[in-house]
Every structure is written in structure tokens, then in C-alpha cells.
């Protein structure tokens, strides 16, 4: 429980740093430095564990996941620079809903009535946050939703990779693909950061790496049903950071939509784990 709450605080803090830095350097360049410094932090671990830890028979799947995830991350960083933190965190909760939808539409997974109802409730939550027809749907919201949809596809690839690949192997290949892709995208918009900004970018990468490890450790140490509700604290952190650093007044309707999305996503995730215990097989686990 401590791990999951610490991870959500770090992820919300990471989003606040990205939003703040986007006023200084382009978001796609932030994505590059997040990837580059993340790879830099993993190299000593690779040296310690040995090269055998990254041997794989699923290089193509790693490559596909890396490319899709890199595009998703860049879209998210750009969208984050245009969207209040509370709305961003609310829409992030939709990832398990979209992953389930993709699995139903393209992978032929069985549609259970309760899961279908939860999906409907979750997408109502998305409509509450975006409010089309009431407010103009912003470019930032559209980019966040597109990013979340691509991340949902990555979740399904991660589920397949996790059958044979360790978390470290997946993380290493992820940043290895991220770095050149984000560099090539950032070069046309490049602005050289000063020394202080570089330090903040390194801290950003360290926060992202630490948060990911704590998130994985939380699910390793405790039952998902016990700790998943605590992931909703990310919305509290995001609202607080948005108010304190960017003077973003909390929007009750956005917070309501985020709560609806999270509740539906949490139900689907926990329900799938319960069904997996009855019928052993691949279990879909939502990640940040």
C-alpha cells in the first residue's frame, strides 16, 4: 500500500514537472531526455546483472511495443502541456477500459455482461470529463485520449511479453527504442537546455524509473484488490499539484468523471483477476 501511494505521488509529480518544463523546451524533447536518462540509469543495472538478462526470443514484439509506446508517450507529453493536470489524470484511468475494448474487438475475447456494463459506465466518465457539446473538446484532451488508446494497446503487448520476459528486460528494450525515436522527433524542434533544466530532466527520469519500480513492487507484494483503490490517490495528487504550481482551480465535474472512470476500470481489472483464478490463463494487469 505504501508502494502504490508513493508511485502515484511520483507519477503525478512527474506530470507536473513535464507541464512546467514544456514552457521551456518542446514536450517531444522532454520525452527524449526522459528516455535517454532512463537508459543511462538502467545501464549500471545491466552491467551488474549481466547481458544474459536481455536475451530474448521476442525482439519483434519488443520493437512493436517500443514504437507504439514511444509515440504514445510523445502524444501524452504534448497533450499534458495543454491540459490541466486533474483532467489528464482522469483520462489516464481510461487505459484499462480501452485495453479491454481492443481485446474484445480485435482479439475475440468473451464479452461478459458485467464487464460490458462497466465499460459503458467508464466511457460515460470520459464524456463527463471531456463534456463534448458543452465545452469545446480541446486538442490536449484529444491527444491524451489518443495516447491512452495507444498505451492500452501496449498493455496487451506487455501481457504477452510478461509470459517469458522479466520486468527489467521489458524496461530495457522499452527505453532502448524510446531514445532514438524521440531523438529523431525532437531534433526539428530542438532547444538546448541550460544546466539547471538538464538537472530537472534527470530528476524527471529518476522519478519515472522509481515510480515504475514501486508500482510493479506494489502488485508483487499485495493482492490487486487490496491496493488498486489506492491508485485513485493520483487524482488527488494531480489536483493538488495543479492548484499549487499552476493555479488550476479544481473542477468538481472533472473530478467526478475521473472517479467514475477509475471505478469502472478498477472493477474490470479486479474482476478479470478473479476470473483468472477460476480459469488459469493470461491475466490483464493495468499499468502507469
Structural domain boundaries, residue 84: 2-278
Judge whether 286 lies within some domain. Answer: no
Helix residue spans in 131-230 (DSSP H): 139-161, 167-186, 195-221, 224-227
Q: Is 112 exposed, middle or buried, given 0-12, 13-18 or 19+ CB atoms closer than 10 A?
A: middle
Judge whether 287 lies within some domain. Answer: no
Judge whether 23 lies within some domain. Answer: yes
Q: Is 163 exposed, middle or buried, given 0-12, 13-18 or 19+ CB atoms closer than 10 A?
A: exposed
Cα angle 186, 15, 181; round to 5: 25
Judge whether 285 lies within some domain. Answer: no
pLDDT at 206: 93
**What distance, in Å, lies between the first and last C-alpha atoms of the chain?**
16
Judge whether 284 lies within some domain. Answer: no
Judge whether 288 lies within some domain. Answer: no
Judge whether 144 lies within some domain. Answer: yes
Whether residue 136 is predicted with pLDDT greater than 70 in this model: the reply is no
Query: Alpha carbon 198 to chain centroid distance?
Result: 23
Number of domains the chain contains: 1
Q: Given pLDDT bands bounded at 50, 70 and 90, which one contains residue 121?
A: very high
Q: Which three cell numbers stand for residue 54?
A: 536481455
Best CA proximity match to 93, nearest among 283, 267, 276: 267
Q: Which three cell numbers stand for residue 169?
A: 528486460
Judge whether 232 lies within some domain. Answer: yes
- pLDDT, tens digit (0-9, with 9 covering 90-100), for 250-276: 789 999 999 999 998 888 877 766 666
Q: Structure pTM?
A: 0.85
pLDDT at 209: 86
Q: Under DSSP, is residue 132 helix (H, G, I), strand (E, B) or coil?
A: strand
What is the average pLDDT score of the chain?
86
Amino acid at each position: 500500500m505504501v508502494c502504490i501511494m508513493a508511485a502515484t505521488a511520483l507519477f503525478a509529480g512527474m506530470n507536473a514537472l513535464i507541464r512546467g518544463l514544456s514552457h521551456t523546451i518542446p514536450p517531444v524533447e522532454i520525452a527524449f531526455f526522459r528516455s535517454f536518462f532512463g537508459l543511462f540509469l538502467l545501464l549500471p543495472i545491466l552491467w551488474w546483472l549481466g547481458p544474459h538478462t536481455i536475451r530474448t526470443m521476442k525482439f519483434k514484439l519488443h520493437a512493436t511495443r517500443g514504437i507504439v509506446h514511444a509515440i504514445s508517450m510523445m502524444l501524452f507529453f504534448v497533450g499534458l502541456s495543454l491540459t490541466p493536470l486533474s483532467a489528464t489524470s482522469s483520462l489516464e484511468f481510461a487505459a484499462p477500459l480501452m485495453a479491454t475494448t481492443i481485446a474484445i474487438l480485435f482479439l475475440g475475447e468473451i464479452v461478459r455482461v458485467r464487464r460490458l456494463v462497466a465499460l459503458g459506465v467508464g466511457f460515460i466518465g470520459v464524456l463527463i470529463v471531456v463534456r463534448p457539446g458543452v465545452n469545446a473538446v480541446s486538442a490536449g484532451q484529444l491527444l491524451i485520449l489518443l495516447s491512452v488508446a495507444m498505451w492500452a494497446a501496449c498493455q496487451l503487448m506487455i501481457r504477452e511479453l510478461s509470459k517469458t520476459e522479466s520486468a527489467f528486460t521489458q524496461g530495457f528494450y522499452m527505453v532502448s527504442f524510446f531514445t532514438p525515436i524521440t531523438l529523431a522527433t525532437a531534433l526539428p524542434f530542438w532547444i538546448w537546455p541550460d544546466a539547471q533544466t538538464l538537472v530537472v530532466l534527470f530528476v524527471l527520469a529518476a522519478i519515472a524509473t522509481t515510480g515504475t519500480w514501486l508500482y510493479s513492487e506494489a502488485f508483487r507484494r499485495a493482492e490487486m484488490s487490496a491496493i488498486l483503490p489506492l491508485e485513485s490517490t493520483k487524482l488527488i495528487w494531480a489536483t493538488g499539484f495543479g492548484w499549487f504550481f499552476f493555479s488550476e482551480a479544481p473542477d468538481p465535474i472533472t473530478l467526478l468523471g475521473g472517479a467514475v472512470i477509475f471505478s469502472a476500470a478498477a472493477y474490470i481489472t479486479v474482476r478479470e483477476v478473479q476470473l483468472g483464478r477460476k480459469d488459469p490463463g493470461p491475466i490483464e494487469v493495468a499499468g502507469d
